[in-house]
Amino acid sequence: MKRLCAMSAGKNRKKPPEQSGGESLLDAADRRILGLIQASFPIVPRPYAEIGEKCGMSEEEALQRVRRLREVGVIRRLGANFRSDKLGFCSTLCAASVPPEKLRDFVAAVNSQPGVTHNYLRRHKYNIWFTLIGPSRAENAALIERMERETGISILNLPARSIYKIKVDFNMDQEGEE
């Protein structure tokens, strides 16, 4: 299920990935790379050359490490964040209560929409939450209605009234705590 991830917080959060011996898959160089790409990804023709230089390694090693971190699930997404309203788009938060037997098909329907930026599986009556960005509130509403008809699942449409962007950078200088 692409773009579907479980949300957790507090004591239920995932530990950093471990190798079979129990040690962390992340070494100091991985942590330095993660710190750089989350807070100041270089917008240059060869960003991994710059990242490698800052981390004391080659461009190829930096890129290889990022690829590995994506493969093992440490990095879920690399990409820019934009203010959709400043680009003339409208965003909405959507929620649905999806029975377990319909979950896979519903998520596939949600993920097939080009305006869906991400979605989450939650432990809640409304167990699927996703964001939708489109050219207008009316077009978002029409798309949500079409998805409801196609899936048979009611979807709450919670249009954004204000945009709140919370910047979170994870401290990569220390091992994760349980």
Class at the top of the CATH hierarchy for domain 26-79: mainly alpha
The per-residue pLDDT for 11 is: 30
pTM: 0.58
**In angstroms, what CA-CA distances link 69 with 33, 39, 104, 140, 166?**
10, 17, 26, 34, 24
The per-residue pLDDT for 40 is: 86
Sketch the domain layout of the chain as residue ranges.
Answer: 26-79, 84-159
The per-residue pLDDT for 154 is: 97
Low-confidence ranges of the chain (pLDDT < 50): 1-22, 176-178
pLDDT in tens, 44-63: 999 999 999 999 999 999 99
**What CATH fold (topology level) applies to the domain 84-159?**
Alpha-Beta Plaits (3.30.70)
Amino acid at 67: R
